[in-house]
Structure 1
Amino acid sequence: MGERSLILYHGTDSKILTPDLTKCNAYRDFGRAFYLSYNKGLARNWAEKKNRTQAKVNGYGLVLNNVEDGCLKIKRFKADEKWAKFVYENRTKEGYVRPDYDIVIGPIADNTLQDWFNKLDEEGLSFSAIAPKIRYEKFKDNQFAFCSSRAIKLLKWVECQ
């Protein structure tokens, strides 16, 4: 069987040959990780939000055979209550320890989801009270969070635009 691969994109303000987890923010959708998308335009949007004048998109090759060999702990989410709770815990809970995943794949949360999270804190609601009110069908774009150095070693830088 031949080698299968794909290109994933990371939007930022600089050229990143080798991702460094210590430089990644801990309070993101899936916790401290290096985030990528299969959609180059989406990565460009991330870069422009970070720094409009220095927006860059780095592309990384990923050999799928290396991911599929069973050596990595991969968690895949669909847009549902479990995903939203996981995002909530990663974004807001100080000291939250994410399970030991190498890669997390799932929908990209947005400000409307953050508004629901704010209601939890401001109004003292429980997560189970807001979960049925979230419109999960609107979360269509996926992101890939590379959470471990073992996973990041699989990424091979190929371009910066």
Structure 2
Amino acid sequence: MCKIILYHGSNEKIEKPVFGKGKAYNDYGRGFYCSEHIELVKEWSCNEGVDGFANRYELDTSGLKILNLSSEEYTILHWLALLVENRRFRISTPVMRRGIQWLRDYFLLDISEYDLIIGYRADDSYFSFARAFISNEISLNQLNYSMRLGKLGEQYVLKSEKAFKQLVFKSAELADNTIYYARRKTRDDDARNAFFTELEKEDVNGIYMRDIIREEMKSDDVRLR
């Protein structure tokens, strides 16, 4: 991987990201969240009526310990376990409670030893897809399908002081909110509409959260691949 270009969306220029700063309840906990896709970052940087910036960096990945959740050894449930561990979930049913506990017990990875994590980004629509799966409303196949709807790609999260030291600011490009906020909203609306269409289908042969618990499926279960 060596040197890669990453972008971070913000309402300001960030020339020197601060290690240890940021929200603890983001997808992978506290860290510096980036993407390889500048157009997506511009969308994320804009709020309604407020312009943003796509901050451009070069990251030297040499010597970094990297967790890539898209590699074959992991499933979407490993990502989901991290999501329920770090994000704020409102538990509304016994199925959700049991599902979250099962994910934590058998799919949660220890990410404390990693410098960089690569994995799904859970914006508002994706978060609702994850919640629907844990609530037993959609199958595992439908969750996998839903996670591709918004075409958000992967995010890169710097987790260690070492990774921060190897990140070099290059430039910052302005993002016009009148253009990019509208694109962000359209992307989210399209993903939600496609999801609701999928939600109306019944995946008769699919694997649901209740099946995973009842069949005691764990991370090495071939049915989850």
Match of 1:136 in 2: 144
> Which structure is richer in relative contact order (CA contacts within 8 A, separation 6 or more)?
1
1:156 to 144, 153, 168: 168
More strand by share: 1
Tell me which structure has the larger Cα radius of gyration.
Answer: 2
Matched, 1:103 2:103: no
Q: How far off is 1:114 after superposition?
A: 2.2
Match of 2:35 in 1: 37
Moved more, 136-145 or 27-36: 136-145
Match of 2:93 in 1: none
* Amino-acid identity (%): 30
Number of residue pairs matched by the alignment: 145
Q: Where does structure 1 differ by over 4 angstroms across 4 or more consecutive aligned residues?
A: 116-120, 127-131
In the TM superposition, 1:23-34 aligns within 5 A as 23-34=21-32
Structure 2 portions without partners, runs of 5+: 90-108, 174-225
Alpha carbons 2:8, 2:54 under 8 Å: kept: yes
Render the CA deviation track for 1:52-94: whole Å, top value 9, x for unaligned.
523011100123xxx24xx33221112611111212211137x
Alpha carbons 2:55, 2:172 under 8 Å: kept: yes
Alpha carbons 2:80, 2:130 under 8 Å: kept: no
TM-score (norm 2): 0.55
1:81 to 51, 62, 77: 77
Tell me how far apart the structure 2 counterparts of residues 34 and 131 of structure 1 sit (CA, whole Å). 32
TM-score (norm 1): 0.75
Structure 1 portions without partners, runs of 5+: 121-126
Render the CA deviation track for 1:40-60: whole Å, top value 9, x for unaligned.
0111111014x6523011100
For the residue of structure 2 that corresponds to 1:35, the secondary structure is strand
